[in-house]
Structure 1
Amino acid sequence: MRHFVIVGVLVVLVAVLTYAGLNSIGLMPVEASAQSVPIDWLWNLDVRVISFLFALIVVPITYSLIAFRRRKGDTTDAEHIEGNTPLEITWTVVPLIVVLIFAYLGAYTLAEIRVVDPSAAEIKVRAIQWAWSFQYPEGFTSKELHLPVNKQVVLKMESSDVIHSFWVPEFRIKQDVVPGRITEYRVTPILVGSYMARCAELCGASHAYMQAPVIVSSQADYDAWIASQKALAAAAAQTPAGRGEQLANTIGCRGCHTIDGSKLVGPSWQGLYGSPVTLSDGTTITANDAYLIESIANPSIKIVKGFETTTAMPKFDLTDAQIQDLVAYLATLK
């Protein structure tokens, strides 16, 4: 009986210390959505049960190795134990019950985070190697996702190339984005702040760069941002350069090309128009209209030196007018 008491006390102590240690690490970021609350509750329950099971297995084994080790001078054979049917039934039935309970809790939590709000606003999301674009109901596109706090939003997501996965760690939910089909992502932000959406599915050489800002704001600030973007979009649509900028954001050009001179997947667009460009074969040409039009329509014909090993730029089904708009936009990036 003494051994059972000691082991019991040690199991409780190790379980508490294990849970406290795991909890102190801060495995989860802040809860920023209504969906994150039940997910974190289930996660914490998992960690508590796992901590107890860890202690229940490790402590008796470790204690037995120490307390019942062969003593010096002991040459007797150990007692052979054939089995213990009640014990074997117990350690089969009890884990089965625990698994079934967690299966029920998991299904209940999944149903809870998928509750549909009929009044939820709808934002279209397009994924492309290696960028996100967000089209709002008001008719404009942005490379940032803006959401109102305490309002459910449904993201209708589609991929232009390979499988991606939309993930905001603070929201807890992750949803695959698949070519040829539309997937839904429902979220109700509950905490004002700035976050980062990431691609959580390996999608190519620049997978790590596939991020997008997520801004949760008050309803008033959200409405003001929507109004300002509508005005900017309306004004931009009146000029070729403005239309080109909108198109670049829509089809994900900024996922590979920066406008501040920094190097990403492809050459920066800053100061590109009219400047000399060294190609992979050593020749130098001027980035004029003809070169830019050719490079947009057939990206693999003339590769810029230093970018030979990067993933090839995909071809876009663009009209001549759209290509001209893109060139006009590039001409403004001095």
Structure 2
Amino acid sequence: MNIPSQITTLLAGIILTLISFWYGQNHNLLPVAASRNAASVDNLFDAMLTIGTGIFLLVSGILIYSAIKFRRQPDDISDGPPVHGNIPLEILWTAIPAILVLGISVYSFDVYTTQGGMDPMDHSMAHGKAHHPMAANPGSAVAATLVAQADPNQQQAESVLQDPATNAVREDIPQRKDAPALGTVSPRVGASPDNSGTPPQLVINATGMQYAWLFTYPGTEVVAGELHVPLDRDVLINLSANDVLHAFWVPEFRLKQDAVPGRQTEIRFTPTKAGEYPLICAELCGAYHGAMKTIVVVEPQEAYDSWLQSQQVASAETRDRAVAGTVHPALIAANPATLTDEQYLAPYAHDMGIDAAMLDQLRPHQSHS
């Protein structure tokens, strides 16, 4: 029984469409979605994968069918028919990709907008020059906004960047001495139009350096090498780099933001699933770039409060034990290779009851000729 070619083509199209939609929704290629920002990114990825799967199956199917259907017969030594072009077919295979690319572009920009990427205020600040007098001083607040209308997010960012713990950490890091001052504000990532202008529930300052992250919690004097955030809370991270470009990337949050020397960048998210997630530097920053990793701990509010309180107690005890004139103790664990022997050993010597006078006696005497 001969099946009409129209029926065969229709059935093949239906099967191809069903396979594409099924795989686009069941690919399991992405890690768990752990933030409120992840849904729109995942939907875009699913749509693009569905379209890509359909195109792959269609093109591959036509190639395989043509190779079999129109293959040269063993006894055929003649030339093929002199066919030159097919204008309707050329219009079709040009118009369909153009429509698909246009549709994906519009959809992508819509997702980018929902993540705060098209906020005109952020871009005006990113490309403007710093005129605020405090912007020229290392460790000071970022430049004032260049727009007449005050931005609550910007005002809050300026205040938290004046946090003493943040300034102390950024001043004590050895790489800081050659870093430019914080000046302009680059575009935000993660701040949707729905919460634009609304202060976040938690603000944390993050400083990137080769090859570690340091997190300070304004108003608490807590300095940590891993990021703790409460579940279902709107979190804003103020990013800065002290040496070279770094990038703050948590795959489970579907967000990435660069940390730029001399600029304040921001990333905003709401974690929705408790757990520990990798925080990866996604910008080549040096020989040990691959080792610049830490974790993000998403925990219920009670557990977060308990952790923060314990860190405050530990920070106070460490500060009391630290020897005057040394760098911030948290930097020893974060980047010991940049410290002098005295700076590295000072906290340990203090714990052992060894003071400066005893250290002088233990040093080898210089020989005199």
Shorter chain as denominator, the TM-score bin is 0.7 to 0.9
* Per-residue deviation, 1:215: 0.5
Question: Alpha-carbon deviations, 1:225-262, whole Å to 9, x = none?
Answer: 22222232233322325996x8142x4x43454xxxxx
When normalised by structure 1's length, the TM-score is: 0.72
Contact residue 321 and residue 351 of structure 2 kept, 8 A: no
Residue 213 to residue 243, structure 1, CA distance change in 2 (3 Å): farther
Map residues 211-230 of structure 1 onto 2, 5 A cutoff.
211-230=293-312
Aligned mate of 1:254, from 333, 344, 347: 333
Partner of 1:189: 271
Question: Alpha-carbon deviations, 1:196-228, whole Å to 9, x = none?
Answer: 211111211211111112100111211222222
Contact residue 279 and residue 293 of structure 2 kept, 8 A: yes
Give the partner amino acid of 1:224: S
2:213 pairs with 1:132: yes
Contact residue 15 and residue 54 of structure 1 kept, 8 A: no
CA distance in 1 between partners of 2:72 and 2:305 (Å): 76
Contact residue 10 and residue 59 of structure 1 kept, 8 A: no
* Per-residue deviation, 1:169: 1.2
Map residues 138-287 of structure 1 onto 2, 5 A cutoff.
138-240=220-322, 247-249=328-330, 251=331, 253-257=332-336
CA distance in 1 between partners of 2:65 and 2:324 (Å): 73
Give the partner amino acid of 2:80: A
Partner of 1:287: none
Partner of 2:89: 87
Give the partner amino acid of 1:119: P
Q: How many residues align?
A: 270
Give the partner amino acid of 2:107: L
Give the partner amino acid of 2:341: L
Contact residue 209 and residue 242 of structure 2 kept, 8 A: yes
Q: Aligned with 1:247: secondary structure?
A: coil
Stretches of structure 1 lacking an aligned partner (at least 5 in a row): 258-265, 270-290, 294-322
Question: Alpha-carbon deviations, 1:262-319, whole Å to 9, x = none?
Answer: xxxx59x9xxxxxxxxxxxxxxxxxxxxx713xxxxxxxxxxxxxxxxxxxxxxxxxx
Question: Alpha-carbon deviations, 1:7-42, whole Å to 9, x = none?
Answer: 554455456557766876632110001111111111
Partner of 2:57: 55
Partner of 2:345: 327
* Per-residue deviation, 1:181: 0.9
2:341 pairs with 1:292: yes
Taking only the aligned residue pairs, the percentage that are identical comes to: 31
CA distance in 2 between partners of 1:242 and 1:220 (Å): 35
CA distance in 2 between partners of 1:76 and 1:3 (Å): 27
Give the partner amino acid of 1:171: F
CA distance in 1 between partners of 2:306 and 2:203 (Å): 18
Residue 70 to residue 7, structure 1, CA distance change in 2 (3 Å): farther
CA distance in 1 between partners of 2:9 and 2:294 (Å): 51
* Per-residue deviation, 1:140: 1.8
* Per-residue deviation, 1:195: 1.1
Residue 42 to residue 131, structure 1, CA distance change in 2 (3 Å): same
Contact residue 156 and residue 184 of structure 1 kept, 8 A: yes
Residue 144 to residue 198, structure 1, CA distance change in 2 (3 Å): same
Q: Aligned with 2:294: secondary structure?
A: strand
Q: Aligned with 2:97: secondary structure?
A: helix
CA distance in 2 between partners of 1:69 and 1:2 (Å): 22
Q: Aligned with 2:221: secondary structure?
A: coil
Contact residue 206 and residue 238 of structure 2 kept, 8 A: yes
Aligned mate of 1:119, from 177, 199, 216: 199
CA distance in 1 between partners of 2:276 and 2:325 (Å): 28
Question: Alpha-carbon deviations, 1:63-82, whole Å to 9, x = none?
Answer: 01101111122233312222
CA distance in 2 between partners of 1:145 and 1:243 (Å): 27
* Per-residue deviation, 1:328: 2.2
* Per-residue deviation, 1:100: 1.2
Aligned mate of 1:45, from 39, 44, 47: 47
